[in-house]
Amino acid sequence: MEAIVLDDRGLIFLSGDDTVPFLQSLVTNDIEHLEEERALYAGLLTPQGKFLHDFLIVQWGQGILLDTDATGCNSLLRRLTMYRLRARVDIREVTDTISVCALVGDANA
């Protein structure tokens, strides 16, 4: 198998006591279904229900990682930071320190 780095992906890391309730109130999927080896697909909508961003949600150590399109990563980061208000959540972009890869090839080889 071969690993290919997907340079068109942006990553945002969320951590803190209020991370799960914070995301639960914002995204289109049920964060309670998030498990260690199971990613969730979700989106962020405007209050009127219009699509803004989509991303994969992955449990990552003591926090949650959002895998999104790199072109919209800064916009998503700003939007999440704006909604944070008093929630105890640390939100930061980690695209420069973590890479998203695709595995290509025969898994049985």
Q: In whole angstroms, give the CA distance from residue 63 to residue 61.
A: 6
Q: Is the pTM of this model over 0.75?
A: yes
| Tokens at 50, concatenated | 């219009």
- Please report which confidence band the pLDDT of residue 109 belongs to, taking 50, 70 and 90 as the band edges: low
| Region 72-91 average pLDDT | 96
Least Cα distance to 62 among 89, 100, 98, 95 occurs for 89
Q: How confident is the model at residue 87 (pLDDT cuts 50, 70, 90)?
A: very high
Distance CA 39, CA 97 (A): 20
> pLDDT tier at 72 (50, 70, 90 boundaries)?
very high
Nearest CA to 58 out of 16, 100, 21 is that of 100
What is the DSSP track for 10-54?
Answer: EEEEEESTTHHHHHHTTBSS-GGG-BTTB-EEEEEE-TTS-EEEE
